[in-house]
């Protein structure tokens, strides 16, 4: 499926949001030390959603994402990347939901949290599928960087593309201490 004429949405530190997606959409969500509850309904057949959540975490925070495939032939690709800086808690709960009457959907989840300190991180990748004609995959990783060039790695890990308006997010990475 081509990704021409994608709708691009840029989000910074939003707490609670709900979207109805009716055309191919890229959502870039950047968060510095905040919790979020996000609900996304894919409401039109043939639509692809690419969701990129990137966060830097200093306190106890959680990220809850629900993506509902309300119709058939929809696709969701979810990439959650976080850095837990101190000895705090970071939780990701990611639900991909396919309803009984939604056929030929594809749900992909890839969640990673890097602990720089002795943080307690948790990822719950949930695939709630009520139909047999679906492709559903998830991956979850929690670990540490062992490379001396961790800021360069963090930028590559957290910043997907050259997106205008994310200068504060990049400056926050540069501010971080090992």
pLDDT in tens, 124-156: 999 999 988 999 999 999 988 655 556 666 666
Q: What is the pLDDT of residue 149?
A: 59
pLDDT in tens, 33-55: 999 999 999 999 999 999 999 99
Segment 22-38 mean pLDDT: 94
How far, CA to CA in Å, does 30 sit from each of 6, 56, 108, 172?
19, 9, 20, 11
Q: What is the pLDDT of residue 71?
A: 95
Identify the residue with better confidence: 9 or 59: 59
The yes-or-no verdict on residue 176 having pLDDT over 50 is: yes
pTM of the model as a whole: 0.82
Q: What is the pLDDT of residue 7?
A: 87
Identify the residue with better confidence: 176 or 108: 108
Segment 157-169 mean pLDDT: 70
């Amino acid at each position: 499926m081509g990704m021409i004429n994608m709708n691009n949405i840029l989000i910074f530190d939003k707490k609670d949001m709900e979207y109805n997606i009716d055309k191919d959409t890229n959502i870039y969500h950047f968060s510095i030390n905040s919790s979020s509850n996000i609900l996304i309904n894919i409401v039109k057949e043939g639509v692809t959603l690419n969701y990129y959540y990137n966060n830097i975490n200093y306190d106890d925070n959680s990220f809850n994402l629900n993506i509902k495939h309300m119709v058939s032939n929809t696709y969701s690709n979810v990439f959650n990347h976080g850095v837990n800086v101190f000895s705090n808690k970071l939780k990701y709960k990611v639900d991909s939901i396919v309803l009984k009457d939604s056929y030929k959907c594809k749900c992909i989840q890839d969640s990673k949290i890097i602990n720089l300190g002795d943080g307690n991180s948790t990822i719950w990748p949930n695939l709630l599928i009520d139909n047999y004609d679906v492709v559903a995959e998830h991956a979850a990783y929690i670990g540490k960087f062992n490379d001396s060039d961790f800021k360069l790695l963090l930028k590559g890990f957290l910043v997907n593309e050259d997106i205008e308006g994310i200068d504060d997010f990049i400056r926050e990475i540069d501010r971080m201490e090992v």
